[in-house]
């Protein structure tokens, strides 16, 4: 998979955030360009064939913008030859706790997507083909993690997919740096210092198994100093 994000794809995905303000635009552009999870989702076809996607802790809706831009690139012939076809006509629904992020998502993406302001621990999940949870679960208590994954399993059909990116507590210095950056970002955004409930990848996979999933792990911090891993899980 090419690690280089195509310039046209990046422009199409980040441009809608200009009306949402300078922070929203520059955050979108930087995150989509530098975070390997987004290029992997398309470059490895992780969501290929999924018609409906539930994005938990969706922030300002970057995944929705990314998938919409991918469909436009595919239709206009500016798609990387080494990448599989992107998902088409995806129904994306995001749930986000932070009102400012929900406002930015709605202002950038308009009525083309559905964004719910709410707590993923409490909002009801509709049946869906895929669930994506990127860098969110460690903000929940250990028991809340288990409860959320059990609810996700119930929302997915037997052929469903869960993409879960987590930090690896066994990741040594890279994990400690990841946690420091996480805490600094929380402070900068006025969220204080809530407890971070992290696990090793072996522990995350054991939890997934207990909640009814089979999983495989894939390093997902290429080009960054973090200890992030993508868990690709299917209902058992």
d(CA 42, CA 20): 25
Query: What kind and span of H or E run contains 179?
Result: helix 172-188
pLDDT at residue 89, as a whole number: 86
> Per the CATH hierarchy, to which homologous superfamily does domain 7-235 belong?
Vaccinia Virus protein VP39 (3.40.50.150)
Read off φ and ψ for residue 232, nearest 5 degrees: -105, 110
Of the candidates 100, 161, 106, the residue with the CA atom closest to the CA atom of residue 128: 161
- Please list the rounded mean pLDDT of every run of 10 residues in the chain (236 residues): 78 96 96 96 95 97 97 94 92 96 96 94 96 97 98 96 97 91 78 85 98 97 93 97
Residue extents of the structural domains in the chain? 7-235
pLDDT at residue 1, as a whole number: 45
The pTM assigned to this predicted structure is: 0.95
């Amino acid at each position: 998979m090419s690690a280089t994000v195509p310039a046209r794809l990046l422009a199409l995905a980040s441009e809608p955030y200009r009306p949402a303000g300078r922070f929203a635009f520059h955050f979108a552009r930087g995150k989509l360009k530098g975070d390997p999870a987004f290029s992997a989702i398309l470059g490895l076809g992780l969501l290929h064939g999924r018609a409906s996607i539930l994005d938990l802790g969706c922030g300002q809706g970057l995944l929705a913008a990314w998938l919409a831009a991918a469909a436009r690139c595919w239709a206009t012939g500016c798609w990387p030859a080494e990448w599989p076809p992107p998902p088409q006509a995806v129904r994306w629904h995001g749930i986000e706790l932070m009102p400012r992020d929900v406002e930015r998502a709605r202002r950038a993406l308009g009525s083309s997507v559905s964004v719910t302001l709410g707590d993923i621990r409490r909002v009801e999940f509709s049946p869906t083909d895929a669930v994506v949870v990127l860098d969110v679960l460690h903000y929940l208590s250990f028991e809340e993690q288990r409860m959320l994954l059990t609810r996700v399993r119930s929302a997915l059909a037997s052929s469903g997919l869960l993409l879960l990116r987590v930090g690896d507590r066994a990741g040594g210095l890279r994990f400690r740096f990841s946690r420091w950056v996480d805490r600094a970002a929380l402070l900068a955004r006025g969220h204080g210092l809530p407890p971070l409930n992290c696990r090793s990848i072996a522990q995350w996979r054991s939890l997934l198994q207990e909640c009814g999933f089979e999983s495989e792990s894939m390093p997902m911090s290429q080009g960054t100093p973090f200890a992030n891993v993508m868990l690709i899980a299917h209902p058992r």
